[in-house]
Structure 1
């Protein structure tokens, strides 16, 4: 069992991120803090030695806590919806304002209330915090491909309703195009500037066999991986998100989907033929 003091310290390091997830899910500072506290209680009762990725475990756990709260709040739906548009007593503190600014802005809080609980959780965890579909799947009791479809549906609804420039598909496309150009030209510093410091690159098993890597974390490491590459990549939309495809001999061999907030926070590479066939791919445009 991990030392209690060290565990508490590691939890506190993740608290701002957990609050940001819960705030997006619940729309209330007080409820978000309660959800984070529930997450701490669950961690204190868990077999910590069996947790390989504590930040990931905490993120999905706070998401599960929020999902349970949303599903049980049917009788209070109208009240909670009103609360999203209102400021809590005393206003938001500076830390929370910074977190909101770093994701997608206050307008999206209202837009998220138009999504069902499962759609909201999938969108928040994947499109805002780069949690993989495989990690989200057991939280919502769905398969990873089903979660991908939910994410695409939620993304299209959010983009259709939100005027926030950070969620603007055209802006996201420009960010991805700049990333591909910097990758092809070997501009390492430009790649780093386009990546969130906590960016995560994930590739499926087929992509790994083609010379990729299962997972890379951090802007410098991801920039290093892409530096001088992407020679055959062309812009595309992947399940409604800005992305790219690699076309060889007239066939799409790899699809890259990008999660873009203020910068690129997540990249997923799919090369498996069956998975590629299941994707909604729009090349060029």
Structure 2
């Protein structure tokens, strides 16, 4: 198989991870671009690896995360979402955040995470416990759900409540979503892509964002359609079928990056 055939299937998920880790599409995609540059310079990093190529890709990104400071760049403005993310990144250690995402979002086991991060499994377990404890200390927020499937909506409501957050309501269509957001002003939006009336969750979110800034987590069975690297794309993305841990991880990350610095 060619290098592109080996790595292309994993790129949407590597972008998702990098964006969740850094908090922005721009920073996350910069790290992924650096991974690809490393592979072009040395294709043997993949072809001679004894690990699964996906593990190798995440390992390369991890090494770059530890050496490049894209995520800690200059502030872009005192009140911007990205600026607040940079301030919060200095509070949560990098290793626990990486472990938390790799386990709950990307679904790696402790052994693979240890290989990705060049740590032993005991270190991974300790880092996960630290991340869970710190993220649980976040302030609770209000979450609006845009989802046309009643059972999925109920599952999402239960997950939101279990984390100590409140649900402002569930919208099934574009118009319902825009009206509910205008009325309730949620701290976070969880949105499916395809809605009951044939409208797009992306379009609904786009209209909501015209009124005020709010983090958004998109839910889709086809992440490759959104994570192409060719246009503005979601920083936070959940793939169907999803696990409760995956949703919890993304909600914690989204609210973490949107909240102000700790006092």
TM, length-normalised to structure 1: 0.43
Bigger relative contact order, structure 1 or 2 (CA pairs below 8 A, ≥6 apart):
2
Larger Rg, first or second structure (1 or 2): 1
